[in-house]
Every structure is written in structure tokens, then in C-alpha cells.
Structure 1
Amino acid sequence: MTRRLSRPFGRSHWLNLGLVALLVLVLAGGWYFIFAPESTATSSRTATVATGTVTSTVTATGTVESSGNYELSFETNGTVTSVNVAAGDKVKAGQALVSVDSSAASQQLASAKSSYAQALTSLTQSNLSLQAAQQSVKDAQANWVANATSQQQVVDKAKIDLDLAIAGASTQCFNSASQPNSSDCANSQAWATLRNAEAAITSAQLDLQKAQSQAALNLNGYNAAISQATTSDAQTNATNARDKGVLADQAAINSASNNLFKANVALLQAKDTLTKAVVTAQQNYNTALLNQQKATAQDQQTERQAKQALVNAQASSTAPKELGLSSVAAANAAASREQLSIAQRAYSQTTLRAPVSGTIGAVNATVGQSSAGGTDGTSLITLVGNGRLDVASNFNEADAAKVTAGMSATITFTALPDASATGKVISISPVSSTSNGLTTYPVTISIAAAPKAVRAGMTANVSVVTSEASDVLVVPSTAITTLGGSSTVTVKKGDQESIVQVVTGVKGDSTTEITSGLSAGDVIVLPTATTSSTGFPSGGIPGGRVTTGTLSGGGAAVGGPPQ
């Protein structure tokens, strides 16, 4: 039997297998293209609320300048009540130089405090949630601290005025014979007033003595003329001349005597005024102490009420844990807080203080005069510094409106990238300049301790802190939605999200203070961002400093101490 051998596969067979494999690959690729998950997805970004610092700044570029004199004046009008320095006096940084009547500012501050306390009470009554009650306690305690500070400032100022008044009415000031040196009198102004009055008495006494001596000489001359007259007519004429001369001399004596009397009265009146000033200053000091006690009692009551509201909220098991705040109550609380800040700043500006240590070059202020208010270019005090460098900068009108003297600043230098310094705003020019349609105001910042490499003429970048709140609840500004004066955030709990109204405080460069509506540890939702397949937000982490807390869904924690 013959056996046939099998033939190998032909070319057409292998070609068919290749076509089948290619078809399988095409079908698999199409399925993946249609059903595979997309490479991008939208994720919810969140941030955990924490305590921290909110800072609002304005920036400008300027030039380093060498300056030796400070021309100081008030930013607001008022009546000068005390001048505590004289030309040539050595002063330290922060020392009180001139004060204006603070009664109006004090009343406005008291009214602002009362309005803020009432707003907080209304806010507490309109929000029975545990969270709001907790925040009310914090607000009451913070308000108490702020009130205690401002009231102590009032008491301290009244005590300074009382000490000056007592010194002005002391024996050291009254009696120049036993205390011939002005340094023995603690009230230089009283010393000058009394010595001027005594000098007027001495001058009047000399004038009287001269008038009396001249009258005696004239009388001898008249009598000699009479005795030398040889005829009756000559004697008559000499006698008439004597009588007229005696009358004229007596009038001069009377005038000099009257001037001496007035000088003595003026000295007595000066001493009486200084003595009465002690009584007035003592009454003002007693009033300041009494107001301090009343303010403390009121703050204690406000705190007790807030704590009782917290107890009631905790005891109410049916009360929801979070309730939205009334937009009216929230707006009133925010407005009252702003007005309180304005009133506190206005009160602090009733005393002109030395920005640096130095020597008083000139004093153009007297008690009773109206302060220039810093608007007419008049300088009340010229202070010669101990040598310093300033930054002369120009702020646009919107930023300049936020800047006041005494604000802190951070300074960097273009030529020295590793160098920086701190400083304070010492003056804002009332006169603007316009260039290319941009209106700016000159602002001078003193450099506290300039690095050794800094030279006059260098370009400097300044950042002025216009407002700051420390140890407060902080959220990214992008998380807040404001509509019709009411602000809200979205709070996330597990998979549930809810809109909660909040009261905002200081609005920083990228973060905002929350005074009510949230608690530390709450998770808030940030604006959504597209993420890549790696899961990281393509838009980056929003808000200010990332300090403490946890990340969730591409978010960030905010607040906490600066890193």
C-alpha cells in the first residue's frame, strides 16, 4: 500500500489567519475607546476650617532716602489739650508728644462698643444653634479684652494729665526762689507761665521805682526854680510849673503802681488756674476709673449672657446643630464690628506719639489751639531722629485710602534679594499727583533697622499691613459667596453638602476671617477644578497659607500659625 505525505499550509491559509487577528485587534480597540473611563474627572475640593491669621496688605515701589527730621501733625482736627514736650527735649519712640480733646472720640468709641454689644446680642438671639452660641462666647471674651485695653488707655491718659496738673500746682513750680531750676518742676509749661508772670511783676516794680525816683528829682528841680525866682511873676510861674509837674509825676507813679497791681493779680490768677486744673484733672481721672469699672461690669454681663445662651443651646436636644444666620443680624454684626474698629482707630489718633527716638526740634502747638489736622501742611512737632533711612513711595488712590500713620510694613530691596526689613508708615501726603491718568499719593515708611548693605537711592518694594486678625477662624476667600450683603459657604458632612450663612471679619489678600457661622474642624467646599488621571487639581490649591488640617478631594486646610 502506498502512503501519501500531507502537504504544508499554503500562502492563502496564513493570510486568512492574519486578517482574523487584525480584526480582533480593531474590535478590542473600539471597545476600549467607547467603554474605557475618561482620563479627566471633576472632583470636589474641600478645606478644613482652622484658626490662623488673616492679613490684608497694599503694595507699592519706592526709593530709599536718607532723612533726619520728622514733621508730625494730627490726621484729624481737634483742640489741643496737652503739650508734653518742649524744644530740646529727648524723647523715646512711642512717647506721647501732643494730645487733642478726646471726649468726642471717646463718646464715639463708647457708642460703637454699645452698638457692637447689642449687635452681638441680637445675633445670639436670632441664632440658637450650638455653633453660634460658642462663637458668641468667643466674641464676648474678645470684646472684653479690647474694651479693657481701650479703657486702660483712657485711665492712663487721665493719670498723666493729673500728674502734670499736680506738678504744675506744686511748690517746685510756684516758688522759683527755693527751686531756681526749671528741671525741678515736672510741668515745663506751668513753670514758663509762672516765671513769665513773676518777670512781669519785677518789671512793673522797676517801672514804679523809676517813676518815684524821677518824681523826687523833678520836685527838687521845681523847688529850686521857685527859690531862685527874683520876681513875684517868676515865682508864680515856677509854682504853677511845679504843680503841673507834680500832677504829671503822680500820674506816672499811679500808672506804674496800677501795672504792678495787675501783674500781681495775673500771677495770682495763674496760680489759681493751675490749682483749679488739679481739681478738674482729678475729676476726669475719677470719671475714667468709674467708666472702666462700668465697662468691665457690662462686659462681664455680656459674657455671662453669652455663656448662658451656650448652655441653653447645648441643653436643647431638638435644636439642629447648625442653623443659618439671619442676613439682617449678620449684616448688623459685621457693620458694628467695622464701626468699632474705626472708632478705636480714631481714639488712638487723639495722641501724637514719637515714631522714633530723637530730639524735639520745634514745638508749634499750644494748649487750646485747634490742631491742623494734617491737611494744611502745618507741622505741630519737628522731631530730629537719631539717624534713619526711609522709603519714599507712591500708592494709588484706592490703596492710599486704606493706609494710616503707624501701620506696619515689610520692605524688600531689588538690588538685595536676600535682604528685608520692617518699618512703619510715618506720613501720608494730602497732596496727590497724576501721571498717565493714574492718581497716586506719596507715603513715607521709616525703616526700623536697615540692613548694612542698604543705601540711599536703592529701589525698595513695600507691603503695608492695612488690617490683620490673629487667632481667628480662616477660610479661603474663594469659598465665600456674597449676595445682597449676605455671605454663605458650602459645608460638607460625609456625602451631604449644605449652604450655611456666615459673618465675615477681616478680608485678607487671599483668605477671610469668619466671626460666626463656622467652627474649627468644619469641612467646606471650594470651587470645583478639573483633575488629571493622577487625581491632583490642575488649578492648584486655593486660599492663603496652608498650615494645619487635612486634604480631602484635592483640597487644603487653612488657618493655623504662619509656617
Structure 2
Amino acid sequence: MKWRWVIILVLIGCALGAFYLWRRAQAAQNSGSSYQTVEIERGDLVVMVNAAGSISAGRETDLVFGTSGRVSEVLVEAGDVVAAGQVLVRLDPIDLELSVAKARLSFASAENQLRKLLADSTEADLAAALASVKSAEESLARVIAGATEAEEAAVLASVKSAEENLARVIAGPTEAEIAVAEAALASAQEAYQRLLNGPDADEIEQAKLSLDKAKNSLWSAQMSRDAKGNPGSKASGAYDQAQASVANAEISVRLAEMALAELKEPATAAEIQDMAAKVEQARQNLQDLLDGPTAAEIASAESQLAQAEAKLDDLDGPSAAEIASAESQLASAQAKLDDLLRGPSEEDIAISEAQVEQARLSLEQAEKQLESAALVAAYDGVILDLNVGEGEGVGATMVVAVLADLSTLEIVAPLSELDVVSVQEGQMVTVQLDALPEVHLRGQVVLVAPAAQIAQGVANYATTIVVNDPSGMVRPGMSANMYIITDRRQDVLVAPNRAVRSQGQQRVVAVLKGTELEWVPLETGAYNDTMTEIVSGLDEGQEIVANPPNPASQQPRGMGGMRVAPGMGGGFPH
């Protein structure tokens, strides 16, 4: 019985010991498996800098006419594909063509003046110049000599005539002049009254008798002609003379008939009105004579006398101004003659040549303005914008259209001062578009701005990227994300960034030694958003803790890390 209890106690003790050992093993197992591990692998590492920007045409030009005018023809629309040299818009050329014509005339005139200046003087030119000098000399001599006796007599007669005219005007009309005016009025009134009353019986009878007399003369002439024979007889000359008398008699008969008919015809309203006007004019003339001279008539007569007396005063001798004028004309004529004899001076030739050159430049400018009336495409491209319509006016600097070459696309992206230090011209770029996420474009850095643009205290460097293989779906203005490949490491050891920690200035990773973590110092190289290059400290295939805690602050022995290039974002391995 006693041994039974001993055996039971021994069994219970063994069970408790086994349970204790199992719990310790289980705890140890649980402690080691709380960390995930990854293997150090060999592969390619691509380091990239992320940037954002907008697609733009590699070449974009604002097109202007360079001259003002009115649009006469628009040959394209926005979105049209055009070729170099193709006419896009035309201005009305009328004013510009007129300017060219005027400039050509000015140029031709300037050339003609230069040719005349360089040409030798002809005998006709010299003769004309000599004649001008002689005429000026004679004029000066006449001015100095004064008036001749004939000129004095003429001026005295003019003064006398003006005095007599003034005396007549002041004295008023004579009785004979009044009588003549009264007779003219009476005659006009009598004619007017006769026109109103018409002809009396005696006048009509007299007209009839005149007609009968003309007819008798005609019959007499006819009988005399018939007595002369006929046109074919020997006395044909006498017959012809008789025939002429008949013709004259026929004319007299016709005139008498017309006079009788006119006498019987009553006066027209126009004839009566005309005769009434003549009566009124005769009455006004008589009244003017009776009223005497007007102030204006006296003033006119006095003015004529004053002019005549002034001419008489001038006969006393030439004035200094008259002599100076005559001498000036002689000097001018003599200078022209001297110029012809001497020929043009070098200064005259230089001035004329300068005028020719100025006219030529004006002509070239007018022709260029006429050429600019047709707006042409400077290169193959697409019309992005068109700002005018037919009939609209444009200024010399107004942007008429925007032309772009879409065969080359580029992106200008701002890079921070931290990223730009690793970016160089020639580096390859991968481009993704927000509007076309399935399209991946390739590009290249072609320019990094040497100076920063400062905005709100932040420095950015404009970096230009050219798209090497633009797609037809890509349009200017689309938003783009770029990944600039700044470094590429091939066949290197890499570890996940999440496994690498810093301990002071040292980069370290954790490895499991049983259930404990052991920190291993590393020498690191390039890195991107996901992986870091392991230069030394680990071997390929070695397992490290993927997500270790932060290590203690003590400094382990080993080499420090090396940063090759910073990166703002992940990338696409190539």
C-alpha cells in the first residue's frame, strides 16, 4: 500500500515536470515566431525622383501680322493640321498695295533726281540759265532806271480818268441820262401793254399785205425764170440766176406767213413775265438815277482814284524793297548758272544718294507689310487657337492664331533643391498621364534650370523633359506624373527598407539567434522607396527580421551607411 502511494507521487511529479518543460518550450517557440523574416536577395535596384507637370507642345508660336488691317479671309479653323508656308489668314491688301505704289514712285523720283544731278549739263540747260540771268539783269536795270515817259503818261491818264469818274459819280446823272432812262421805261411799258392787248386790226392787215406782196414777188420771179428757158439750154447761167431769185422769193413768202401767224398767236405767260421784268428793270434804272450815287459807288470811284495816284507816286523812283527783290532774283539766277557750270558738289551727291537709299528702304518696308498681309504657318503643326473672323480689324501685335508642333511634346516640372542634385540631363524618364492611366510614355531630361525660382520661400528648379514616343491621344495641357531614373544598380544584394534600422549613425538589421534578436551593422548603398542596396554585412540568402523594433541607442562596431541619391517616390524597375 505504501509503495503504491510512492509510485503515484512519482508519476505526478513526472507529469508536472513534463508540463513545465512543455510550457517553457512553447514560450520559447512563441517568442521566436513573433518576427517575420525575409531572405537577402540579389536583383536590380532602380532609384527614381518623382515630379508632376503638364504636357505642352515642344514648339508653340503666337502668330501676328506685324501690321494693322481688316481680315478679308480666314482659311483655317482651330484644330486644323497645317503645313509650313500654308496661308492661314489674309488681310485686305488695298491700302498696303497703295502704299507700295507710292513708295515705288518716291524711289523712282529719287533715282531720277540723282541721275540728273550726276548727268552733265546740256546746252539747253546752260542757254536757259543764261537767259534767266539776262532777264533778271534787265529787270534790275528797269527797277533802278525808274519809269519811262510812256509809262508816266499812261499813269497820268489813268489818274485823270479816275478823277473824272469820281466827279461824275458825285455830280449825279445829267438831264440827258434821265431822259434816256425815261424813254427806255416808256418803251418797255408800251411793249408790255401791247403784249397784253394783242395786235390790233391795222397790224394784222399790214401783215396780210406784206404776205400778199411776198407772194406777188414770188410769182414774178417764177415767170422770169420760165422765160429764161430750162437748165439744159445755152442760157443756163441766166436760168440759174432766175432760179435763185425764185428761191429768195419763196423764203420771203415763208417769213411773211410766219410773221402773220405769230401776230395772230396770243402771248405766252413766259413772254409776258419776261417783258414785265424788263419794265421793272427800266423803272429801277430810272429810280437809281433820280436817287443819286450811293455810298458804295462813291467809295469805289475813290478807291480807283487812290490806286491811280499810288501808281503815280511809284514813278518817283524804286523803293529799297523793289531793288532788293530784283537783286535777289538776279542772285538766284546767277547761282543756278554757276551750279550748272561747276557741276554738283560731293555734298549734293551724298544727300541725293541718301535720299535714294531712304526711298529704297521705304519701298522694302511697304513690300514687307504687303507680304505680311498673308499670315502663313512657320512650320508643320496644328492650329491650337484662332482669335479672328472675317471683317474684323486687327492690330500689328495682336495674336491672331497659336501654332504648335505636336510631333514633339515636353513637360516642364519643378524639382525641389533636395531632388535636383541627383537629376542630370540625359536621364531617362517614365511618364504616366492622369487622363490615360494605361498609357506609359518614355522621355528624357533635356534641361535642368541653373537657377531656382523662389516662391513663398521655396526654391524649385524648372526641369524640361522631352517625350520620346508621343501618342496621338496625348494632348497639350494633360496632367502628367514623371519618374526620373537617377540611378540603376544591377545584380546587387537588396533588403526591404522596412527591415533596415538606424542605430546612431550606423545602419543595422536584426537576425534571430535562437529566440533572441542580434543587430548586424551594414554598409548600405543606393535605395528607393521599397529597397536598399546592401554593400557589405550580409550574404545572399541570409534571413533577417522583416519588421524589427527600433534598436538600442548603443553604437555597434562597423561601417556607416552611404547615401547615393535621395528619392521622393517609388519607381518602376527596368
Larger radius of gyration: 2
**So what's the TM-score if we normalise by structure 1?**
0.32
Between Structure 1 and Structure 2, which shows a larger proportion of helix residues? 2
Q: What TM-score comes out, normalization by structure 2 length?
A: 0.31
